[in-house]
């Protein structure tokens, strides 16, 4: 019996200092463990309880833990999770499948072929993002892994109608738009976390798949899993999104991250891989 656990990272499993504001007043905040350092500064955290649970979960040989993120490989590799290192990781929203830290070339070729057939080219979308964004609130524009583009913005100044207009424009060209924190992502529709998760499940022989995520880019991952969870914050919560196999948690912020790991642990135990 093998259980595959595919979890989104930012604002699902781990939280930046800014995202910790979603949780609770400082006086009631739990003890935290730093799991990411960038430019000599602590960047992302889990609760100590979540970290201990994750270490227990990943120690079980019947559990395949697969960090699943829109981050690039370089951004992902800054994270140091407790417990057994993950053999597989999904980066760039499914565009990169890492095996023992090394990109799988066959998977990347398959992804490239699908994108070439099914959606507008990255250059067109990136150019439109730059032309349509207002310099008054645009801070950075980036292309990630030659697969998708994103903007770093002053979120409170970005008009809602601009996001809607961009989403409509992108949809007609086979792309999806997602607003996450200070970032506006434009991602090809065929570029999905769920496809990469299914590939890892095939390679590992997983009989049960579990997932968690908070954004619209995670919806396909949650739907593809046998059971899934979303926190009480994020794009999916804001629009009231759910599905029969998806549990909508009441917890928000880092407390939701801890509850997600608890849920993974309970489900893995029920599947027979962990002691209840």
* Tens place of pLDDT per residue across the chain (276 aa): 899 999 999 999 999 988 887 766 777 788 999 999 999 999 999 999 999 999 999 999 999 999 999 999 999 999 999 999 999 999 999 999 999 999 999 999 999 999 999 999 999 999 999 999 999 999 999 999 999 999 999 999 999 999 999 999 999 999 999 998 889 999 999 999 999 999 999 999 999 999 999 999 999 999 999 999 999 999 999 999 999 999 999 999 999 999 999 999 999 999 876 654
pLDDT of residue 181: 82
What is 3-111+191-271's CATH number, 3.40.50.1000, 3.90.550.10, 3.40.1620.10, 3.40.50.2300?
Answer: 3.40.50.1000
Give the span between the Cα atoms of 259 and 251, in whole angstroms. Answer: 8
23 and 38 Cβ atoms separated by less than 8 Å: no
pLDDT of residue 24: 66
Domain 120-188 has CATH 3.20.20.70: no
Cα–Cα distance list, 257 to 12, 49, 77, 166 (Å): 5, 10, 20, 31
Q: In b/e form, how buried is each residue of 11-40, taking b as 16+ CB within 10 angstroms? A: bbbbbbeebbebbeeeeeeeebbebbeeee
Question: Domain boundaries in the chain?
Answer: 3-111+191-271, 120-188
Count CB neighbours of 243 within 10 A: 13
pLDDT of residue 273: 66
pLDDT of residue 143: 96
DSSP state of 275: -
Rounded to 5 degrees, what are φ and ψ at 258? -65, -45
pTM over 0.85: yes
């Amino acid at each position: 019996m093998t259980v595959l656990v595919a979890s989104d990272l930012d604002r699902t499993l781990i939280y930046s200092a800014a995202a910790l504001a979603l949780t609770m007043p400082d006086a009631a905040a739990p003890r935290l463990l730093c799991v990411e350092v960038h430019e000599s500064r602590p960047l992302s955290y889990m609760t100590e309880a979540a970290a201990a649970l994750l270490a227990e979960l990943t120690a079980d040989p019947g559990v395949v833990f697969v960090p699943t993120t829109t981050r690039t490989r370089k951004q992902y590799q800054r994270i140091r999770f407790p417990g057994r290192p993950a053999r597989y990781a999904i980066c760039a929203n499914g565009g990169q499948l890492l095996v023992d830290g090394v990109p799988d070339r066959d998977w990347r070729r398959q992804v490239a072929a699908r994108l070439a057939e099914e959606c507008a080219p990255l250059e067109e979308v990136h150019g439109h993002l730059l032309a349509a964004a207002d310099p008054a609130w645009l801070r950075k524009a980036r292309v990630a892994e030659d697969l998708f583009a994103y903007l770093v913005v002053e979120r409170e100044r970005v008009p809602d109608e601009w996001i809607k207009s961009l989403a409509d424009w992108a949809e007609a060209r086979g792309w999806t738009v997602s607003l996450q924190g200070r970032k506006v992502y434009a991602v090809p529709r065929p570029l999905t976390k769920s496809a990469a998760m299914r590939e890892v499940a095939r390679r590992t022989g997983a009989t049960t798949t579990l997932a968690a995520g908070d954004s619209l880019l995670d919806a396909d991952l949650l739907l593809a899993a046998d059971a899934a969870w979303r926190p009480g914050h994020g794009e999916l919560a804001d629009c009231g999104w759910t599905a029969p196999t998806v549990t909508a948690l009441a917890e928000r912020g880092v407390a939701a991250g801890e509850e997600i790991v608890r849920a993974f642990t309970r489900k893995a135990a029920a599947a027979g891989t962990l002691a209840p």
